[in-house]
A and B are shown apart, each in its own frame.
Chain A
Amino acid sequence: MSEKKPGDFVEIQLGRRNFLQIVGMTGAASGLGLPVAAHAAAIAAVAHSAAPAEVDGLALVRFKVNGKAQSLKVDPRTTLLDALRDHLQLTGTKKGCDHGQCGACTVHVNGRRVNSCLSLAAMHEGDEVTTLEGLGQPGNLHPMQQAFLEHDGYQCGYCTSGQIMSAVALMKEPCGPANADVKEAMSGNICRCGAYSNIVAAIQQVRKA
């Protein structure tokens, strides 16, 4: 692939579909109907000659996760969630629906809470990502983690990672003082065990501290 130039349209990944771009994409979405194996082989060959360093069809992502620089080569289809869990073994972040409908996968990107299941890992070049593991560990818990512990702000613990990440992000978001305000702001995190009142109590304790 061609050199990366600042201000240019930068290819950071070379996959089999690069073939389309190299040979010129047509309206017929060339190749979609080809048998996949043959297609992949053909592209790999083209890609090889063009950019030997990136023939494996993986996207390069360099980002900071919990303060530590990481450089990952991932399938472009890999979500931020799966990259954290499968590539960095940060399994504290959970998959509950994979469609942004439960909040279990909530992490911070550049200090803001997002659903990591609806974001590609490749979109996070240069970002700072924080997961539950990055907040604190047993013996050195973040005040929000401690508050969840004291208030029994969970039952099974599976949605807890997302709840706590949302709760910590909430501290910096505009949110009214009432329990109802916290409940509305936290509604993107489903707790099927229904530990909601304890979660709200934990958050309010930290907010008032």
Chain B
Amino acid sequence: MSEDTSSVTPLPVVGHQYARVDGPLKVSGAARYSSDHSFPGMLHAVPVCATIGNGHIDAIDTRAAAAMPGVRKVYTRENIGKLYRVPKSARDAIIDERRPPLEDDVIRYYGQYVALVVADTFEQATAAADKVKVSYKGQQTPNVAVKLSADERPKADTERGNPEAAFASAAVKVDQTYSTPPETHNPIELHASVATWDGTRFTLYETTQAIVNFRGVMAQMLGVPSENVRVVTEFLGSGFGGKLWPWTQAMLAAAAARDLHKPVKLVVSRQMMFHNVGHRPQTQQRLRLGATHEGKLVSLQHDYVYHRALECDYSEDCGEATGFLYSTPNLRVTGGFAERHVGPATSMRGPGAVPGLYALESAMDELAIALKMDPVELRLRNEPAIDESENVPFSSRHLKECLTTGAEKFGWAKRDPRIGSMRKDGLVLGWGMAACSWIAERFPAAASVTFNADGSVRVASGTQDIGTGTYTVLGQMVAELAGVELSKVNVVIGDTNLPPGPISGGSMATASLVPAVAQATRDAIDKLLAAASEGDSHFAHAATDQLAFAHGRVYRKNESPDSGRRFEQVLTAARRGHVEGQGKSEGTFGQPGKKEYSSHSFGTHFVEVTWQPEIARLRVSRVLTVIDAGRIINPLTGRNQIEGAVVMGVGMALFEETHYDKRNGMAVNSNLADYIMTTHADSPDMDVVFLDYPDLKLNEMGARGIGEIGLAGIAAAITNAVHHATGVRVRDLPVHIEDLLASKVA
């Protein structure tokens, strides 16, 4: 344990609430998203999608489509031009669907792109795409079976002790299987690509959470040097992992732009987004927990299977948090996949951990019931001293405090554990809770920081703001480090022409940027001091090492900082327009070798549901979440991240599932009326508590990520509350009304 190794030292800017620096653009329609870009002569592209789920293209008749008004060209495998594969091993060019679009005539999933129509207008391209006639051969029923069994022998992710023997002899046991359905990310922004080509260089306006990786992929697939590809994402309408790696519409748009020498816009339709741009795969997870009568875990086995698309190798690591969340001498986590004829799966917010913790935290609730023990108490009794999976200490872990603080603030002591026993305003109440965790690591990052003679400071990095607040937290970091007002900081991101920044994934962008930005700021300050020493007569004859910088001022070390000169005065005196510093940091994620610390964020959710048995109406009414994620740079945007995850968690628990038709593999509910997500009316009263212990082993500000952890555990907290209210234990998400009709609570 590392309780209270570091107390919170307040900082002037970091840790305080600021309205987003990009907010005025967002609330006025001035923020430009990828599909908002438009160029003279721009053409519109609409893909044609396969209407079978397993088979081969026999022939494509494009004549009728090509003759439609406004159509410039219809592309198939024959004429799309050269597109190349990205090697599996490419660390700087990651893509889930490595097969380039239109590469062969094999249909591996329903909705796969088989042709592309480019026309003058969107209306013309859409109408013509409907006229492309595709015939198929060798058509077979796709395998989209819901029941999963691993195609190959499952591999052990982590193990210790003898879990079978310990389980066999355990005093109290839980052995249950849980499943989560395929979920579709469904950011409200449609995936889009606007591709331009000047004969040598591509400029690509993309919907991506990782512009630098996108450039790497596009350079490989288009067969051009990466300096000939520029990727721009000024604003992203969120992604939740679905926009982490490129999808094939980008290559189609770029190939058409290259061929037609015209800018091409391709906006993926909502329907296509259920097939072509990833999803969270279905999982099936068996949990075996053994404990003593005192509630001490003696064995934990977590065996999971997930579905996998053909020719894709995405893994849903459901055991992500299982190895270290609780103390137990005997443990094994195994994972396997089952191939299905579905579009490629990809990371979705909290990949692995989110479905995994639904299962683990449901099983813990079932164990608490079997033990007749309070579920908070059960977790407190199994708090580990170290990460028992890696055998290293935690960099900073306060799960116990998350449990006790949450219980106290929620009023958990008033909980009557008997099913259906709590009532309020004529409704049955159910209270449930769960713990959560998410990795805390860093990616490589580079940034530049510039002091300008006009008094502004510029920070630049080739990263992107996906809605998490990167513009604002970057501004805060620099305002903090340079000692200037936030309003004086200009944040420039979203362009691969900038120093390569981190991906916005894994909740790591903020933590990754801290060291790079700090180094760039220090570098810029050094250069500022050199400029003062050389060019500002105010500091005449002062060597650089006799000068210092604080609160925007350069001063002599032997004098008070207040006596110093503003940096803009120094630059003006030195006749310098600006000084620019560079910073670069290595990543920690995926680095070889044994780690010194186990770095994770932790948290707890406490949930109240209301149940109205006479009309089978269940609603989530109240959620309290306690998060231990290091220092929170901006509590305003930070709280929003956690609440937003809870809102998504309500959907995960109660609404969301993609259904594939067993006859052709089509996602039958491929629209936002049939794939239902949480509305305003479904969102509960929420409260968020940040413990705010800086994790200084991760970076100098002690900031970890908060984008994903809020979704981990919440579904289990909800289904645990559902069980408390109704007596119905839902082990297959989402909870359906039909499940609850079995409730005996009246």
Contacts and interface: CB of A to CB of B under 8 A. Distances in A.
Interface string A100-143: 01101000000000000000000000000001110111110100
B121 A158 contact: no
A99 B33 contact: no
A96 B189 contact: yes
A199 B681 CA distance: 12
Interface in A77-93: 77-78, 82, 85-86, 89-93
A90 B28 CA distance: 11
A195 interface: yes
Contacts of A36: 64, 67-69, 131
Contact of B187 (A132, A158, A160): A158
B672 A132 contact: no
A37 B600 CA distance: 62
Contact of B237 (A77, A156, A183): A156
Interface stretch (A6-14, A24-32, A185-193): A185-193
Nearest to A99: B671
Residue of B24, B188, B683 most packed against chain A (CB within 10 A): B188
Interface stretch (B54-62, B87-95, B640-648): B640-648
B41 to A, nearest CB: 13
Contacts of B237: 94, 156-159
Nearest to B35: A95
B188 A150 contact: no
B629 to A, nearest CB: 17
Contacts of B637: 152, 155
Given A75-B124, A190-B672, A95 B190 contact: yes
A161 B23 contact: no
B322 to A, nearest CB: 26
B267 interface: yes
B535 interface: no
A78 B269 CA distance: 16
A149 B20 contact: yes
Contacts of B85: none
A35 B64 contact: yes
B461 to A, nearest CB: 19
Interface string B233-245: 0011110100000
B238 A192 contact: yes
A162 to B, nearest CB: 9
Nearest to A77: B123
Contact of A75 (B121, B189, B677, B679): B121
A194 B644 contact: yes
Given A86-B38, A155-B467, A195 B30 contact: no
Residue of B27, B36, B187, B641 most packed against chain A (CB within 10 A): B27
Contacts of A78: 121, 123
Contacts of A187: 679-681
B644 A152 contact: no
A204 interface: no
A91 B28 contact: no
Contacts of B26: 154, 157, 160
B496 interface: no
B683 A192 contact: no
Contacts of A159: 188, 237
B240 A192 contact: yes
B188 A158 contact: yes
B460 to A, nearest CB: 21
B240 to A, nearest CB: 7
A193 B28 contact: no
Interface string B27-70: 11111110110100000000000000000000000001001110
B238 A101 contact: no
A133 B29 CA distance: 6
B672 A91 contact: no
B260 interface: no
Interface in B448-486: 466-469
Nearest to B63: A35
Given A35-B64, A183-B680, A99 B24 contact: no
B745 interface: no
A61 interface: no
B188 A192 contact: yes
Given A156-B466, A196-B647, A95 B267 contact: yes
A184 interface: yes
Nearest to B24: A138
B746 interface: no
A154 to B, nearest CB: 6
B186 interface: yes
A53 interface: no
A183 B235 contact: no
Contacts of B31: 157
Given A36-B64, A98-B270, A195-B644, A183 B28 contact: no
Contact of B29 (A91, A139, A184, A190): A91
A59 to B, nearest CB: 12
Contact of B25 (A104, A138, A146): A138
Given A99-B270, A141-B24, A90 B29 contact: yes
26 contacts: A35-B67, A40-B69, A89-B38, A93-B29, A94-B189, A95-B190, A98-B270, A99-B671, A101-B673, A132-B29, A133-B28, A141-B24, A145-B28, A148-B27, A152-B23, A152-B640, A154-B467, A157-B26, A157-B467, A160-B27, A164-B27, A183-B680, A186-B680, A187-B681, A194-B646, A196-B647
| 3 closest cross-chain pairs (CB), A and B | A92-B29, A194-B647, A156-B467
Interface of A: 35-37, 40, 75, 77-78, 82, 85-86, 89-99, 101-102, 104, 131-133, 135-139, 141, 145-146, 148-150, 152, 154-161, 164, 180, 182-184, 186-187, 189-200
Given A36-B68, A94-B189, A187-B681, 9 more contacts: A77-B127, A96-B188, A97-B671, A98-B269, A155-B637, A156-B467, A157-B22, A158-B187, A160-B26
